[in-house]
Structure 1
Amino acid sequence: MLAACALSTAACAAEAVRPPSAIGTDAPVIVPGSPGAPARTATPGERVGRTPQPTVAADVRFAEAMIPHHRQALEMTSLVEERTTTDVVRRVARAITAAQTPEIRAMTSWLAGLGRPAPAGHDHTAAGTGSGYGMATEEELNALRAARGDAFDRLFLRLMTRHHEGAVTMAEEELAGGRDHRMRLLAKDVYAGQSIEIARMRAAMESLPPA
């Protein structure tokens, strides 16, 4: 009797520490289809999850164009503290610096993983994109460096709004043609963050005294 109890106790203890079995392992797993395509049922043993997308030329173009684009934005924001007394302009500049500095690092690291160096400076021609996407010309940058007070604020907000609009266009192009998961996530961040900043800069411009 004691032996039976002991065996029963051991069995109960083993049962208590045994990990629970999976629930619903026999239930069908539904795999969503691509946009416009119907869902399907996964086959037995199929691995269901995110399949890494191959890197395509659009992803590389996005990173190689956005790095110099961001660098010019940082050059422009670096002028703000000594040239304005307007708090909203300072807040805009600090937000741009906080967002775009780590994005440059992320894109530089991603390109290094492909064995490609990051473009130098903030010349879009190095990335084969011309001088578009809202980039300021050297003459405009010189005018910004020379401006002070309200004149600086108006020029900074005008140039940076145009600059952001160019970045939003670049993000749209990456989302339309890119495939790399990391670059697409970054493009979504750029699109959302800079769209919000565009609205803030337009409101700030309206709050400035007339020229």
Structure 2
Amino acid sequence: MLASALGACSAAAPRPGAAPVAGTEAPVVVPGAPGGEGRVATPGERVGEPDSVTSAADVMFAERMIPHHRQALEMAALAADRTTSPAVTALAERITSGQGPEIAVMSRWLTAQGRQVPADHGHEPDQAYGMASLAEMNRLRAARGKEFDTLLLRLMIRHHEGAVRMAGEELAGGGDQLMLKMAGDVVSGQRAEIVRMRRLLDGTPS
């Protein structure tokens, strides 16, 4: 089971990665500024910064977001020979330049955790997170011009909303600082793109 593989601690033990807390037993010395004197921490004081703690939520976030991003790249790549809109072309380029590097970072992180990087993406799984079905992808491939633009924007808005939801779950349950930062970037970046795409759908310049 994933939670077991990542390890667990007993209820009595300090949470792994938590900042040390000064107690009433041996005194804890807090270093001073360079060249200055240290001091003894007061009981209950947290000493130092907490370390990054990998949780099951972090692993699940990376394993789900990589295929999710890959489908976004697949949809964006279709724009090159199907749209005549400079705004849609620019959107596709932003998605490609943003999500490609994020896949690389998450893939390296998973490898460092001893986990396999997802080999591909499926269309039916994770539709709860806005992924397009195989039928929807086939419709998008067949569309051209305005029809393509409208379908791409609708699918990509839903896709982005799913990514924001997925990232929100990581922010609520994750512990790894890198994955938490990536989740925060996904939320802020994709929310901004959702606003732009809705404006494009409404015919309002972004």
Which TM-score band applies after superposition, normalised by the shorter structure?
0.7 to 0.9
Answer yes or no: is 1:54 the counterpart of 2:50: no
Distance in 2 (CA, whole Å) between partners of 1:200 and 1:150 is 17
Q: Which of 144, 147, 153 is the equivalent residue of 1:151?
A: 147
Q: Which of 96, 106, 129 is the equivalent residue of 1:133?
A: 129
Distance in 1 (CA, whole Å) between partners of 2:131 and 2:201 is 19
1:184 aligned partner: 180
2:18 aligned partner: none
Distance in 2 (CA, whole Å) between partners of 1:80 and 1:28 is 63
Distance in 2 (CA, whole Å) between partners of 1:192 and 1:28 is 41
Distance in 2 (CA, whole Å) between partners of 1:26 and 1:63 is 41
Identical positions, percent: 51
Distance in 2 (CA, whole Å) between partners of 1:81 and 1:203 is 21
Contact preservation (8 Å) 1:68, 1:124? no
1:173 Cα deviation from its structure 2 partner: 0.2
1:41 Cα deviation from its structure 2 partner: 5.4
Judged with a 3 Å threshold, the aligned counterparts in structure 2 of structure 1 residues 124 and 180 are, in CA distance, closer, same or farther, namely farther
1:54 Cα deviation from its structure 2 partner: 1.6
- TM-score of the superposition, structure 2-length normalised? 0.76
1:151 Cα deviation from its structure 2 partner: 0.2
Judged with a 3 Å threshold, the aligned counterparts in structure 2 of structure 1 residues 117 and 92 are, in CA distance, closer, same or farther, namely same
Judged with a 3 Å threshold, the aligned counterparts in structure 2 of structure 1 residues 163 and 130 are, in CA distance, closer, same or farther, namely closer
Judged with a 3 Å threshold, the aligned counterparts in structure 2 of structure 1 residues 86 and 62 are, in CA distance, closer, same or farther, namely same
1:114 Cα deviation from its structure 2 partner: 1.0
Highest RCO, 1 vs 2 (Cα 8 Å, sep ≥ 6): 1
Q: Which of 189, 192, 200 is the equivalent residue of 2:196?
A: 200
- TM-score of the superposition, structure 1-length normalised? 0.75
Contact preservation (8 Å) 2:157, 2:194? yes
1:107 aligned partner: 106
Answer yes or no: is 1:74 the counterpart of 2:42: no
Q: Secondary structure at the match of 1:119?
A: coil
The number of aligned residues is 172
Counterpart AA for 2:82: R
> What's the C-alpha RMSD, in Å, of the aligned pairs?
2.3
Q: Structure 1: 5+ residue runs without aligned partners?
A: 1-20, 31-39
